[in-house]
């Protein structure tokens, strides 16, 4: 299996420094996808970029095929295949896409102070905001298939504890969004897509109870045409 990010030989000049040989071609992109999952997040970002990509609908059964292991070591979605690069982890895919197409303006430039805040929220979403949402989900959807988390390990946090935990990790977001529309310098970025994807789960699980800045923020994100497109099959029947 290829490592997540491999530079091609042609990407380096004789001194070993990175050069941009040719503009990347978006048609090469393939997103391995199951509706309602975290795969919606990179799909939303691809829609924001407005360029063609191929959505490969897989089922949980298809991820059990031996070949799928070459795409994802834990047989999960999403996976992005971009020419000779294969990447898993939804937030990493979003970061990769935003950097690959800087002209789309979905990430602040590297080595700028703004980039630091962008990283902060990009990592906050899957590492700090999502865990209580996942725990809550395991309580309300106890039959959810998750290969890496056996049922017996899902019950250590009650629904109420997960809610309280979530409210706590939402507080810094409410603080920032109280005076700006987007997380990073008030400009829409891939960090909003990843955060919005987590908050979307929270909303649909009934965890966003108060009419606070986070809820207003999510409502605005959900009105974006790219979001609407990426969310179109939310009510599709999922095959396991
Ligand atoms: N941290 C990973 C999590 C990937 C993940 O757990 N994907 C879920 C769908 S949201 C999956 O494929 N679950 C199938 C299973 O575990 O059987 C990411 O953000 O991409």
Q: Which among 45, 61, 76 is the best mutation to test ligand 1's pocket, defined by most ligand atoms within 8 Å of the CB?
A: 76
For ligand 1, atom 3: residue with the closest CA? 89
Whole-number Å distance, alpha carbon 18 to ligand 1 midpoint, is 32
Question: What domains does the chain contain, in order, with CATH numbers?
Answer: 9-104 (3.40.30.10), 113-224 (1.20.1050.10)
CA 57, CA 62: separation in Å to the nearest integer? 10
Tokens at residue 117, please?
């805040």
Whole-number Å distance, alpha carbon 57 to ligand 1 midpoint, is 14
Contact by Cβ (8 Å): 154, 142: yes
Q: Which among 129, 130, 141, 146 is the best mutation to test ligand 1's pocket, defined by most ligand atoms within 8 Å of the CB?
A: 146
The SS3 call for residue 48 is helix
* CB-ligand 1 contact for 221 (6 Å cutoff): no
* CB-ligand 1 contact for 80 (6 Å cutoff): no
pLDDT of res. 43: 97
* CB-ligand 1 contact for 130 (6 Å cutoff): no
pLDDT of res. 12: 37
pLDDT of res. 13: 38
Shortest-distance atom of ligand 1 to CA 76: 12
pLDDT of res. 108: 98
Whole-number Å distance, alpha carbon 146 to ligand 1 midpoint, is 7
pLDDT of res. 60: 87
CA 47, CA 155: separation in Å to the nearest integer? 36
Question: Helix 130-140 to helix 190-204 angle, to the nearest 10 degrees?
Answer: 30
pLDDT of res. 1: 39
Q: What does the angle CA 49 – CA 52 – CA 55 come to, to the nearest 5 degrees?
A: 105
Instruction: State phi, psi for 80 to the nearest 5 degrees.
Output: -110, 130
Whole-number Å distance, alpha carbon 42 to ligand 1 midpoint, is 13
Whole-number Å distance, alpha carbon 77 to ligand 1 midpoint, is 5
CA 195, CA 121: separation in Å to the nearest integer? 8
Q: Give CA 239 to chain center in angstroms.
A: 21
Whole-number Å distance, alpha carbon 124 to ligand 1 midpoint, is 17
Whole-number Å distance, alpha carbon 76 to ligand 1 midpoint, is 5
Burial of 96-120, coded b for 16+ CB within 10 Å and e otherwise, reads: bbbebbeeeebbbeeeeeeeebbbe
Q: Give CA 20 to chain center in angstroms.
A: 26
Shortest-distance atom of ligand 1 to CA 146: 16
Consecutive 10-residue averages of pLDDT for the chain (240 residues): 33 37 62 95 97 92 93 96 96 97 96 96 98 91 70 75 97 98 97 98 95 97 98 72
The SS3 call for residue 54 is strand
């Amino acid at each position: 299996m290829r490592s997540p990010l491999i530079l091609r030989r042609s990407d380096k000049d004789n001194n070993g420094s990175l050069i941009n040989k040719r503009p990347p071609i978006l048609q090469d992109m393939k997103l391995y996808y199951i509706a309602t999952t975290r795969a919606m997040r990179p799909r939303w970002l691809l829609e924001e970029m407005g360029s063609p990509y191929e959505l490969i609908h897989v089922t949980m059964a298809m991820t059990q095929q031996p070949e799928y292991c070459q795409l994802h070591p834990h047989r999960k979605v999403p996976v992005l295949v971009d020419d000779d690069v294969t990447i898993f982890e939804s937030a990493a895919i979003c970061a990769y896409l935003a950097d690959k197409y800087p002209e789309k303006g979905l990430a602040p430039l590297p080595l700028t102070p703004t980039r630091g805040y962008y990283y902060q929220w990009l990592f906050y979403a899957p590492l700090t905001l999502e865990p209580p949402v996942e725990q809550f989900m395991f309580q309300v959807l106890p039959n959810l298939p998750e290969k890496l988390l056996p049922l017996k390990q899902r019950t250590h946090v009650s629904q109420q504890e997960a809610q309280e935990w979530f409210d706590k990790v939402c507080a810094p977001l409410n603080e920032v969004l109280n005076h700006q529309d987007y997380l990073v310098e008030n400009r829409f970025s891939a960090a909003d897509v990843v955060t919005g994807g987590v908050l979307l789960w929270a909303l649909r699980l009934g965890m966003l109870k108060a009419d606070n800045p986070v809820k207003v923020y999510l409502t605005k994100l959900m009105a974006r045409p790219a979001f609407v497109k990426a969310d179109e099959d939310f009510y599709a029947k999922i095959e396991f």
